[in-house]
């Protein structure tokens, strides 16, 4: 295992997209669409945003799928799962989606006004700035995480993404 630590592979906090807890899902989508992460000359889109409170304390992470789940229309959430699946079963009737798309779109617009805190994921673990790559890998695997905040002197200073950990391992295996 290479002698790499969180500090060596993390994305500094000022280079990773983050938002305030008061933003809506609509605003989170806009921020995600505008954000680009650059690491080692390669650009990528974020899969998640960090969510901070008014005191700059990290509250959670909102992922793309959390936002999508939050945008799901209320009338669909109350339907039994088999009925929900049938509603969008294009093989059964290609017109079903067309019939419901207006109602779905309107409801999604309404859902987009809810605060991001309604759908964000709480922080379940962090790694220390000096933690070894092996510890990061262990936490990511055992907690099924793609992103872990990095802490130094009790402050969030960055994040480690699974893609960056994977790239470190790829480099190790190519030697």
Q: What is the mean pLDDT of each run of 10 residues along the chain (175 residues)?
A: 85 95 96 90 90 95 94 71 59 53 76 94 96 96 96 96 92 82
Model pTM?
0.82
SS3 149: strand
Helix, strand, coil percent content, the chain, rounded in steps of 5: 45, 25, 30
CA distances from 174 to 105, 138, 167, 171 (A): 48, 21, 10, 5
**Across the strands, what pairs with 19?**
51
**What span, in angstroms and rounded, lies between the C-alpha atoms of 167 and 147?**
14
Report the DSSP pairing between strands 37-39 and 42-44: antiparallel
Within a 10 A sphere around the Cβ of 42, how many other Cβ atoms? Answer: 9
Q: Each residue of 45-76: pLDDT tens digit?
A: 899 999 999 999 999 999 999 999 898 877 66
Beta strands 48-52; 18-20: pairing state: parallel
């Amino acid at each position: 295992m290479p002698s790499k630590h969180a500090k060596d592979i993390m994305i500094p906090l000022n280079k990773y997209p983050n938002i305030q807890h008061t933003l809506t899902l609509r605003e989170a989508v806009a921020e995600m669409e505008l954000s680009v992460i650059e690491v080692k000359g390669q650009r990528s889109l974020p899969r998640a945003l960090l969510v901070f409170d008014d005191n700059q304390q990290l509250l959670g992470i909102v992922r793309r799928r959390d936002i999508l789940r939050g945008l799901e229309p209320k009338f669909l959430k109350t339907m039994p799962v088999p009925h929900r699946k049938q509603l969008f079963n294009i093989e059964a009737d290609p017109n079903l989606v067309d019939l419901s798309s207006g109602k779905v779109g309107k409801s999604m617009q309404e859902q987009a006004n809810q605060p991001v805190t309604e759908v964000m994921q709480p922080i379940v673990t962090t790694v220390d700035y000096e933690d070894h790559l092996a510890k990061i890998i262990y936490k990511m695997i055992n907690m099924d995480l793609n992103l872990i905040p990095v802490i130094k002197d009790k402050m969030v200073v960055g994040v480690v993404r699974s893609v960056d950990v994977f790239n470190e391992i790829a480099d190790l295996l190519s030697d």
